[in-house]
Structure formats: C-alpha cells, structure tokens
Amino acid sequence: MGHQHLIDTQAEPSTCPRCRAGLLVGLDGGVPVRLDPVPIAHSDDADRSAEVAVLVAGGETYLLTPGRWIMDRSPERIRNRRPAGNVHTRHRCPGRPEPTGQPDLWGSFQ
C-alpha cells in the first residue's frame, strides 16, 4: 500500500459568506482554513504576546509562508520559529459566540 498525503494548497483571497470580511483561504493537511488577512506577527518576532493572547482566548494561529502555504502553528513551530512567515489567526465572524466544538462547513467553530 502506498503512502497517502493530505492535501495542502496555497492561500487565495476570498470573502466570508457570513460577514463579508476579506479572507485568505486554503487547505492545511486536507482541512479547510479561513484566515484573517492581516498578520498578527512574524514567526521570527521575539515578542509573541499577540499570538499568546489569541491562543489563550481559544483562537487558532497559522503560519503563512512566503510561498503562501498555510501551516498550523504547533507548539514546536512556535518554539522553533521555523519555518519563517507571517502569523495569522483563524477567521471568526465579529459577534459570533466563542467556539464550542467542531468546525462547520466554512471552517469556523460553532
């Protein structure tokens, strides 16, 4: 049996179907990801307070590489600052309740 790979795609500009905000969308390991387009930090930044604040609030962060590939920010990637790129948050529509479970069809938590 051959080795199977999950699909990754480069981020493309899009619009949220709910709140009409601009987004970056793509697949990370076969999982749809919708990111806010404005980065909160760079992976090389010594000050990680913005990313820590997002994570403590229950949000998720992703790396957008210079080639526009989306990668989840695992603890190892945060600690090692590699690969390099901009750190973005997973999109949450304004005024939506905090996540309670699994992501819906659009990649937002319900």
pLDDT class for 19, splitting at 50, 70, 90?
A: very high
26-78 per-position pLDDT tens digit: 999 999 999 999 999 988 887 888 998 999 999 999 999 999 999 999 888 88
Quote the percentage of the chain above a pLDDT of 70. Answer: 81
Upper half-sphere CA count for residue 10 (Cβ side, 13 Å): 5
Average pLDDT over residues 86-97: 87
Rounded to whole angstroms, the Cα distance separating 110 from 105 reads 10
Prediction pTM value? 0.79
User: Where are the extended beta strands (E) located within 12-108?
Assistant: 12-15, 22-28, 31-35, 41-42, 61-64, 70-72, 86-89
Angle at 85 between CA 20 and CA 26, to 5 degrees: 40
Residue 107 has pLDDT above 80, yes or no: no
